[in-house]
Structure 1
Amino acid sequence: MAAHPKKTILVADDDPHIQEVLEVRLASAGYEVILASDGREALDVLARTPVDLVISDIRMPGMDGLQLQAHLEKTAPKLPIIFLTAFGSIQDAVKAIKSGAVDYLTKPFEGRELLDKVSSVLSKAVVAQAKASAHGAHVVPPCGTQDCGMWETRSQRMRELAQMVEKVAPRDVNVLLLGESGTGKERIAQLLHSMSPRRDHPLVIVDCGSTPASLLESELFGHVKGSFTHAVRDKKGLIEEAHKGTLFLDEIGNISMEMQVRLLRFLENRKIRRIGDTREIAVDCRVIAATNADLIQDVAEGTFREDLYYRLRVVTLNVPPLRERKEDIPLLAEHFVASFCKAQGMPLVVLPPATMEFIVNYPWPGNIRELKNAIEAGIVLSQGGELTPTDLQVAPTAVHKGQQSESAMSLDESEKVAIIRALEKANWVQKDAAPLLGVSRRALNYKIQKYEIDIPTRRKK
C-alpha cells in the first residue's frame, strides 16, 4: 500500500535486525524512516527532526520504550506511538496503551500487519495533527444538527464567515446567502436562527427550487376555503407559520416574477394576504434567503427584480466551495466517517493516506453534500475496514490538483449521481432515500422527475 511520501516514521529498537526489517518494509511502502537504538537517541532525533509516528521497542537498554513514552506525553502528546513487544511482555504493551500509546505489535509480526497498522494509525492522526497545528481549528457554536462537524475549520475564509455569522446573527436584518449547491447554506441559516433572539420561535424552511410554481403561492401565503378547487379548508401559509421566528427561502432565484412581486410587497409592509382573502395579516419574521444562482446577472437579464434583490441582501454572506477550502476536507471526511459508522452501529472505518490524498485533491463539484454522500456510500461498499478511492465511486477524471478539471461532473450531474446512490442504497424506496439525502420526500420526487431518473418497475408506487 503506497503511503504519502511526506510521512516520516522514527523507529527505536536496539536490535539491528529488527531495525533493518522495519526500515525495508516501511521504505518500500513509501515512508521516510529514521533509526534510533534506544529512547535517548530517539529524543535526540525528535529534537531536530519532526516525525509523524514513532515505532518503539518496549524493552531497550538505557531509556526504554515506556520511559520514552512518558517523556513524549509531556513534550509531544499528539505524536502517536506503536510499541513492539515480545510475547512475554504483552502486559507491558497493554499498560502502555492505557497510558496513551495508540497500538502495539507482537514479535514476530507479518509485513502486511505492520503496514496495515501504520496506515490505520496515521490516517486517524490526520485530524488530531490538524487540530494541534499552529493555527488550530475554529469551531462555530453548535447549530443543533448532526452535520455540525462541518463548522470545524482550518480555513481562513471559513473563519471569516464564522465571525460574520456571529456578528450578524443577533441583528434583526435580512440575510442573503450565496454559494454553490451543497456548500451548507441551509446549515448557516439554522445557525443564524439559533444564535438570534428569535431562536425560541419557529425556523420555517421553504425549498423554492423543489416546490412547483403553481403551489408555491399557496405554500407561502396560505389560502381560504373555496378560493380554488381543492381548497376545502382555510390554510395558514409558511410565512405566517414563521411569525416571531425566521423564514428561510432556499433557492430564491427560482421563483417566478409574479411571486417576486408578492414577496417584495411582504418585505416592504410585513403583511400578507391569503389567496382568496381580503384581509391582511401582519407577520413579524426575519427573512434569510439563499441561492446558487448569480442574482446580479439575473437582475441584468431582467429575470430577477432589482428592488427585491436589495431588499433581501441587507447583509450578504458568501459560502466558499469545498475546493477553495481544501484544508478542511480531512476534518470533514473524518467527521462523516465517524458519524456514519456510529449511526450504523459498525466499527470505525479507516481512511488510509492514499484515500485521504484522493479525497483532498478531488474537486467535489457537489461540495459538502457530495463528499458526505460519497463517504457514506463508500463505507457501505468498503471491505476489510478500510475505505479506498474506488469505494467512493466518484468520477476519476474529475481529479485535478489545484483546480477543477474541465471533465469534472456538473453540479446537476453530481446531484443526480448522489440521488441514484441513495435510491440504490434504499432499495429504490423514495421515503427511505429522502433522509439519506437530507431532503423531503416531495423534494426527492421533484428531483427524480427533473433528472428523469428511471425507477425500477418493481419499486414504482
Structure 2
Amino acid sequence: MKKKILIIDDEVNIGLLLSKFLTRNDFDVVSAITGNSALEKMTSQKFDLVLCDYRLEDTDGKEILIKIKEQYPSTGVIIITGYSDIKLAVELIKLGAYDYITKPLYPDEILNTINKALESQNVINKSSESKNHIEPSSVYGNYTEYIDGESDVAKNLLKQIELIASTSYSIILTGKSGTGKECVAKAIHLNSLRRDQPFVAMDCGSLTKELAGSEFFGHEKGSFTGALYTKIGHFEQANGGTLFLDEIGNLSYEIQATLLRTVQERKVKRIGSTKEIDLDVRIIVATNENLSENIIKGTFREDLFHRFNEFSIHLPSLKHRGNDILIFANKFLTVANAELNKNIKGFSPGVEKSILNYGWPGNVRELKNVIRRLALLTNGSEIQENVLPLELSNYDHFNESNEKNLKQVAETHAPKNLKNAAQEAEYKAILSVLKQVNYNKTKAAEILKINRKTLYNKMKAIELGE
C-alpha cells in the first residue's frame, strides 16, 4: 500500500512541484495551503507523514507540529524552512519533528529524508502494536544486578527501560561513575527489536583526535601511514544493532562535528574509501557530566546533544536507593561465592548496617568490589564486622565526630566582616567536599583542584586536624 503524505505549504507552486515529484515516486499525496485546512484534512484521512513549511499564512510549523504530535503521535513530521537557523531546527526536533529540510529543496535530499522518516515511524508503530512481553528476568540477563530492586527509584528505572526499549529512539544515560550506565544500555538493547543484532560499546574518554576517525568509521588498508590492514569502525560493527558511546562529553569539538554528520545522514565512509555505507544503528550515549552546562561553556555541540536526546534516563547514585543496596550486595555475594567456590549465606546485622550507612562514592561498582573482598576474607558462613574495610567500619564514628567538628567550625568562624565571610564560604566548600568523599583527602584535593599540602593547611586552619 502506498504511503500517504500531506504537504502543507502556502506557496502553491512549491506545493505543486513537491506533489508531482512525490507522486512520481509512488506516494499518495494530498496538499493544503493553510495550517487550519491541513488539520481539517487530518480529521478525515490518515497520513503516514506530514511535510510542513515553517512559515504559513495563518500559523507556523511549530504550532502545527505541536498539534499533530498531540492528536496524531504516530504521524511523522518533517519541517521545511528557508531560514537555516540551527536553534530553530534544534527546537523543532526537540518538540518531535523527525527532521528539517532547508530551502532550496533538492529532490534526492527530500526523498532520502522522507524514506528515513517513514522507516523510523514504521519501527516505532510496530513496537507499540506488539503484544509480545518478555519478562525482565530473561531480558536483562546478567544486568539485573545494576537495575532491579524494590525501591520507587528501581521501579521507575525499569518502567523507563521497558517504555523506550522497543523504539529506535536515541538515548542519553546520565549518572555518576559506577552507577551502571553500560548495563542499562545493554538491558535496553536486549529488550529491543534489535536484540539479535550486535551491541557495540565504545569508550569515548580514551579517544584521541587522531584515532577517533578510524575508531568510529574504520579505514582502508594503506589509507594513511601505519594502516597495514582494513579496519571496520564501530558504527559499521554495530550496523543493525546498538552502538553505546560512553563518556560522550570527552569528545573534542572537532570530532563532535564529524559525528553529527554521521548521525544525521546515517551513512558512514571508511577513511580512504569512496564508498558510503548505509547505517541502521540505534545510538545510546552516556555521560557523568552535565551536557547542558557543557553547551553553555561551548565544549559540546547543542545540535548533537538534541540528536542524541530523544529520550534520557538518569541513574541515581547508590546512596539514594535505600534497601536496594542490600539486594545488590546479596547478588554480588552470590557471584563471589561462585567465583571463590564458597557458600557464604549472608551478612551479620552489623555488616548490613554498615553497608546501608556507608555513602558509596564509587556507587555500584565500589559495592561489587567490596563484597568480593569481604567474601575472600570470610571463612565462615556469614560475613562479620571484623573483615570490613576501615572506610565502612569507621564510617558512623567518622561521620559523628566530623559532624561535631562542622558545628564547632561554624560557631568559631561565624563571619564578622567581608573577609571572614569569604573564608567561611571556603571552609564550607572544603568541608562539604570532605563529607562527599568520606574524608578521603586525596580525592577531596582533586575535586577542589588544590594540592594535598594546601588542603592540610586549610584543614589545620579550621581546626579539623589532619
What TM-score comes out, normalization by structure 1 length? Answer: 0.56
Aligned length: 277
Residue 253 of structure 2 is aligned to residue 223 of structure 1:
no
Correspondence for 2:337: 341
- Distance across 1 between alignment mates of 2:439 and 2:291: 23
Which amino acid is 2:189 matched to?
A: H
Contact 2:218 2:271 in 1 (8 A): yes
Which amino acid is 2:267 matched to?
A: K
* Per-residue Cα deviation, 1:281-338 (whole angstroms, up to 9, x for no partner): 2111100001111111111101111111111110011111111112201111111112
- Distance across 2 between alignment mates of 1:159 and 1:411: 36
Judge which range, 303-312 or 223-232, deviates more.
223-232
Distance 1:174 1:263, change over 3 A: same
SS in 2 for 1:356: helix
SS in 1 for 2:205: coil
Unaligned runs of 5+ in 2: 1-134, 404-431, 447-466
Correspondence for 1:408: 438
Correspondence for 1:323: 319
Correspondence for 2:254: 258
After TM superposition, the structure 1 = structure 2 runs for residues 5-404 of structure 1, keeping only pairs within 5 Å, are 140-143=136-139, 145-389=141-385, 391-393=387-389, 395-396=391-392, 400=399
SS in 2 for 1:233: coil
Which amino acid is 1:159 matched to?
A: K
Report the alpha carbon displacement of residue 143 of structure 1 after superposing the two structures with TM: 4.4
* Per-residue Cα deviation, 1:181-222 (whole angstroms, up to 9, x for no partner): 111111110111011111111011111123444323211110
- Distance across 1 between alignment mates of 2:441 and 2:283: 26
Contact 2:178 2:364 in 1 (8 A): yes
Report the alpha carbon displacement of residue 162 of structure 1 after superposing the two structures with TM: 0.8
Contact 1:203 1:242 in 2 (8 A): yes
* Per-residue Cα deviation, 1:410-444 (whole angstroms, up to 9, x for no partner): 79959x9xxxxxxxxxxxxxxxxxxxxxxxxxxxx
Report the alpha carbon displacement of residue 382 of structure 1 after superposing the two structures with TM: 2.5
- Distance across 1 between alignment mates of 2:235 and 2:325: 36
Report the alpha carbon displacement of residue 384 of structure 1 after superposing the two structures with TM: 3.4
Report the alpha carbon displacement of residue 237 of structure 1 after superposing the two structures with TM: 0.5
Distance 1:411 1:247, change over 3 A: farther
Which amino acid is 2:188 matched to?
A: L
Contact 1:177 1:289 in 2 (8 A): yes
Report the alpha carbon displacement of residue 170 of structure 1 after superposing the two structures with TM: 0.3
Structure ranking higher on relative contact order (CA contacts 8 Å, 6+ apart) = 1
Distance 1:145 1:209, change over 3 A: farther
* Per-residue Cα deviation, 1:20-49 (whole angstroms, up to 9, x for no partner): xxxxxxxxxxxxxxxxxxxxxxxxxxxxxx
- Distance across 2 between alignment mates of 1:217 and 1:297: 26
Identity %: 38
What TM-score comes out, normalization by structure 2 length? Answer: 0.55
* Aligned alpha-carbon RMSD (Å): 2.7
Distance 1:201 1:337, change over 3 A: same
Report the alpha carbon displacement of residue 140 of structure 1 after superposing the two structures with TM: 3.8
Which amino acid is 1:362 matched to?
A: Y
Distance 1:410 1:239, change over 3 A: farther
